[in-house]
Structure formats: C-alpha cells, structure tokens
C-alpha cells in the first residue's frame, strides 16, 4: 500500500528542492488555500509563490487533496489535477477535465513576460527567483495587468485542450538564466521520483512492525526536507521542516546526521560538518543557517562531541580523513565555551540566554542574566573526551592527554559547583544563587553515566523515573508535571522534545539503566507513531504541538525504534 499523507500538516516536496506545496491558512491579504512555495531565504520570508486553484468553465471549483511521496492529486467534481516535482527545480502539472489557475501576488516588482506562444516568464521579486511556465498541452491565458513598474498581479490560467480536455504544463524555478531542457513525460517523471524515494525508504533504519506507520512518515519527512547546496549552504542540508522552520539549527543537525550515518554516511557527514564550514574565527558556530544567511545572535549547546562519538561507534566510514577534517574545528568550538562564556572565571561556562541552551524558555532562564547549568558541563566533558579520542587516533598523544585532563577538571568542577543538598541545580553566574523551577535540564548530566558518583546517579534516576515528576505516559516532560510552572503547551516548560529523549535514553542505556531507557523510548515511539513527527508534544496527552513535520523528531524516532526500544 502506497504511503499517503495530509498536506494540511505535511508539505508535498522532494529531496534536493526548495520547492514545496503546502496548505496555508488565511493571513493578511493571503487567502486560505494550497500554494506552490519556495523555502529559500529561511523562515523570515513568506515563501508563498502561486496559489493553486482548479477551474471548470472559467469558474473556481473546490477540491480535495491526496498526497504520496511522488504525486499530489487535486480531486474535484469536474475533474482532477496531478502534480509531481520532477527534480530540484521543476514541477510538472497534468489536469483532466479542469483548468488550473496559478495566482502570484505581493511582490513590489513582480511581472510576467511572454517568451513564446506557450511560454511565460514570471519574475517573483518577493521570492528572489524567476519561474518559467511552459504549456505542453492546452493553452495559457495570462492575466497580468502592468502598472508603471510591475504587474498588479499575475494569474496564469492553464486551459485544457478542446480535443482531449487535458492541460499539461511545467514550472521551472531559476535565478539567472533559463536554459531549455527536455522533459520526461508526466508518468515517467512520477515513476522516477517514486523509485528515488523507494530507494531512500529502503535504506531508512528498520524497526518492528509496531512502529511501521511512524517509520513511513519519518522516512518521507527526512527525504523531502533535504535542500541542495546553494548560496550560504556549502553542502546538501536537511531542513528542520518545509512548513515554517525552514532553516537548520546548530544542534538539530546532529540528530539528523546520527540517523543517516549507517545508511548514508556521506550525507550524514555533510549534515554534521555544514556548521563547521561557516565557523567564526573565534570558534563560535551560528545559531541557524539557510541558503541566504546565518544568525549569530544566539548559539546552541555543544552536543557535537557526544554526536560524533555516537556516529564513530556505528560506522567505519568515519576514517582518518574525516577525523583530520573535524578535529581543529571541534577543538575551536570547545575552547570557545571556556574562553568566551565564563564571565566570572570560575571554570564553569555559562549560557547567556535560554536560546543558547536550546531550551529557550526553560524555567532556569525565567529571569534576566547568565546561567551556569549542569547540562552544559556534561556536554563539554563528553566533547573533551571525544577530542581526546580523535587526538589519540591521529597520533597526537600529548593533546589527547590535555583534552582528557580538561574533561576531568570540568567534571570535578561540575560536581563541586552544582551538587548541593542531594541534587544538581543551575545557578546564576557570578552570585551562584540557585535558580527556581523544576526543569529537566538539571537532570541531563545522566548522559555522563558511570562517570558520576553513585549518589548523584541515584538522585537523577529517582527523579527521572518518578511518574509524578518527569516520566510522563509519553516520555520525559521538560518541566516537572508537579511544578507550578508546568504548561501543557509551554514549549520548554513541560512538553516532550525528541532531542532530550534521545540524549537521556542514550545516557541511561550507557549508564546501565536499560529498563528505564527502554520505557522512555517505547513511550516516545508509541506517541509519535500515533500523533506524528511534531516539533514537540503534550507530555500527558501526547498531542503533537506546533510544526508536525519535523526532521529531528523523525530522526530520533527512527533511531529509538531501531535500536533503543528493545534495550
């Protein structure tokens, strides 16, 4: 049975393309409907290009949608249209019994120019691209009134051929010069895309039949969210989503790399290294990137050492060449934390803002000011250990010893700094006053496993296994469910997040707490299998919240279902 999905929550797109088709709600002057979009420019641009309508006898007709990875079908009472994204920049349409109207509006200088009887160029300034519209069968009726410097709107109506009642056309996206190419037939294009997707699906991490529904969805989301190397992107990049989170963030990419490393190690390496390609001289990594720019106002936590060690344990593909490529960039990223994020010079790095931690609005960031949090020290311990491992493999024995010594010093300082009265708690930089709230972030050091004293492990496990505090029916809540600050849809104040589940589950298993690790993995996978690959989830109800086509959720689901639920 062919996998299908609802474009109201999951866009129709394909590997290697910025083009996508989405259902958008009404917003400002934009009416509700199905739109051909481009996700260039990240989530700060509208991305909406053409509204797609079906017509019969010149009038709009309502339709329903049915999507598979290779074909989107728009079904009306008068006929239907089918759409396939043939390659990274070409969309094919074929309609039977109905016409197709594409409407572009909103750009300051948008215009349409006829090139031949069957071809029009549409220049979309808002989206910073051009589109070539070519009719293969039927006619183009263009409504694009010119006023001074632009067309007030562009409406391209593709009318069926009178003899066959069919219209077929292509839309090509380009930025500079259009080059004429031969097109496959519509059916050939669909077959090629279907075969390409099936090869991806077959290589997706396998799991038990109980998790098959989620595996199909996660496979499609991860495949369709890859965009090409272009502009600021030095490598192919798996975006977080092609809904609204149309960027890559500098810890999200780690989980996508991990899920790919066994089946597609070269692409996994691209995901891992892409931020290091744009690393600042200081060692800082940008917060997020897209094809147009990077944001440097914030950053994300240093989980890269943990990620790389995890990947190295699961593939022989990462060899000397890759280790030499990553060693110095990873070292600079690590030193940045010690050099640039320790305002009180106590040897314990800090987060200046919640966004720097990835836990944007966690209760430890409830008040203004830099925060020293135990999770950051735990990540740095693992990162230093990974650097020691790489240095050893590269024959840099002196540097390996230095990194190992820094890992131990960081662990010692973490315990001296945060372990008080039988618990780990984040503190304010400088004053070291303990911060309020009951955030799960304080319990992330369980990823250190047996490096921790037994009494620390026992305290963390007691809290993590408490079903009145953090262990919800669906995984680990990010704020204690008994906390006065708990919010069911409070972002990092309660909901479940896939990366936290992955970090904790892996740490629990490696620390020997395999039963708790399996429980958490099973609960999360059961929830996502039922409710989709959302950005986050209501901890108690399991409802998917916000964006429901998220790649890091998909990647974590695939890894947990493949490796951890049976632990």
User: What is the arithmetic mean of pLDDT over 386-405?
Assistant: 98
Residue-wise pLDDT tens digits, 158-183 = 999 999 999 999 999 999 999 999 88
Q: What CATH number was assigned to the domain covering residues 217-564?
A: 1.50.10.10
Q: Give the single-character DSSP code of 204.
A: S
Dist CA 304 CA 382 (whole Å): 9
If residue 499 lies in a helix (H) or strand (E), which one and from where to where?
helix 498-510
Dist CA 135 CA 116 (whole Å): 10
Neighbours of 454 (CB within 10 A): 8
* Chain centre distance of CA 244: 10
* All structural domains of the chain with their residue ranges: 19-178, 217-564
At 49, the pLDDT band (50, 70, 90 cuts) reads confident
Q: Is the dihedral of CA 443, 446, 450, 451 positive or negative?
A: negative
Torsion of CA 469, 471, 473, 476, to 10 degrees: 110
Dist CA 156 CA 147 (whole Å): 18
Q: Give the ranges where 108-148 is alpha helix by DSSP (H).
A: none
Dist CA 545 CA 566 (whole Å): 27
Q: What pLDDT, on the 0 to 100 scale, is given for residue 105? A: 78
CATH ID of 19-178, from 2.70.98.10, 1.10.290.10, 2.60.40.10, 3.20.10.10: 2.70.98.10
Residue-wise pLDDT tens digits, 281-320 = 999 999 999 999 999 999 999 999 999 999 999 999 999 9
Q: What pLDDT, on the 0 to 100 scale, is given for residue 516? A: 98
Q: What pLDDT, on the 0 to 100 scale, is given for residue 451? A: 97
At 46, the pLDDT band (50, 70, 90 cuts) reads low
**Strand, coil or helix: 244:** coil
Residue-wise pLDDT tens digits, 340-359 = 999 999 999 999 999 999 99
């Amino acid at each position: 049975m062919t996998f299908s999905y609802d474009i109201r929550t999951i866009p129709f797109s394909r590997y290697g393309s910025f083009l996508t088709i989405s259902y958008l709600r009404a917003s400002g002057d934009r009416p509700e409907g199905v739109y051909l979009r481009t996700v260039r420019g990240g989530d700060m641009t509208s991305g909406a290009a053409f509204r797609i309508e079906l017509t019969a006898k010149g009038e709009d007709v309502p339709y329903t949608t049915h999507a598979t990875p290779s074909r989107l079908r728009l079904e009306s009472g008068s006929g239907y249209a089918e759409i396939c994204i043939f390659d990274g920049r070409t969309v094919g349409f074929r309609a039977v019994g109905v016409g197709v109207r594409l409407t572009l509006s909103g750009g300051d200088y948008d215009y349409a120019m006829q090139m031949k009887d069957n071809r029009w160029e549409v220049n979309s300034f808002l989206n910073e691209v051009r589109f070539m519209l070519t009719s293969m069968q039927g006619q183009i009726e263009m409504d694009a009134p010119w006023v001074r410097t632009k067309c007030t709107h562009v409406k391209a109506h593709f009318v069926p051929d009178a003899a066959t009642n069919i219209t077929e056309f292509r839309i090509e996206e380009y930025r500079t010069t259009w080059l004429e190419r031969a097109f496959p037939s519509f059916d050939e294009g669909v077959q090629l895309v279907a075969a390409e997707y099936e090869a991806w699906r077959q290589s997706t991490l396998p799991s038990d039949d109980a998790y098959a529904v989620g595996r199909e969805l996660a496979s499609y989301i991860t495949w369709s969210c890859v965009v090409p190397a272009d502009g600021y992107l030095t490598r192919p990049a798996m975006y977080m989503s092609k809904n609204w989170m149309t960027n890559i963030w500098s810890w999200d990419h780690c989980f996508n790399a991990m899920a790919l490393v066994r089946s597609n190690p070269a692409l996994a390496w691209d995901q891992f290294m892409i931020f290091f390609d744009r690393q600042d001289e200081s060692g800082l990594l940008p917060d997020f990137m897209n094809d147009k720019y990077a944001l440097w106002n914030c950053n994300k936590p240093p989980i890269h050492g943990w990620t790389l060690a995890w990947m190295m344990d699961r593939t022989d593909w990462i060899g000397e060449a890759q280790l030499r490529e990553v060693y110095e960039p990873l070292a600079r990223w690590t030193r940045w934390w010690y050099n640039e994020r320790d305002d009180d010079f106590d040897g314990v790095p800090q987060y200046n803002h919640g966004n720097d931690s990835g836990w944007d609005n966690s209760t430890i960031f409830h008040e203004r000011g830099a925060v020293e949090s135990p999770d950051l020290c735990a990540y740095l311990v693992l990162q230093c250990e990974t650097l020691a491992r790489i240095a050893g493999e590269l024959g840099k024995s002196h540097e390996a010893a230095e990194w190992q010594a820094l890992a131990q010093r960081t662990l010692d300082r973490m315990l001296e700094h945060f372990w008080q009265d039988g618990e780990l708690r984040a503190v304010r930089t400088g004053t070291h006053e303990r911060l309020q709230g009951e955030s799960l972030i304080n319990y992330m050091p369980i990823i250190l496993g047996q490096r921790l004293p037994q009494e620390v492990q026992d305290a963390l496990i007691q809290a993590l296994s408490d079903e009145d505090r953090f262990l919800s029916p669906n995984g680990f809540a990010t704020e204690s469910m008994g906390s006065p600050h708990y919010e069911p849809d409070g972002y990092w104040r309660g909901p479940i997040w896939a990366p936290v589940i992955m970090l904790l589950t892996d740490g629990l298993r490696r620390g020997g707490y395999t039963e708790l690790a399996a429980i958490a993995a099973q609960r999360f996978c059961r929830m996502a299998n039922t409710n989709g690959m959302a950005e986050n989830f209501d901890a108690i109800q399991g409802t998917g919240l916000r964006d429901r086509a998220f790649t890091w959720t998909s990647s974590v689901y695939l890894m947990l279902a493949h490796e951890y639920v049976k632990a």
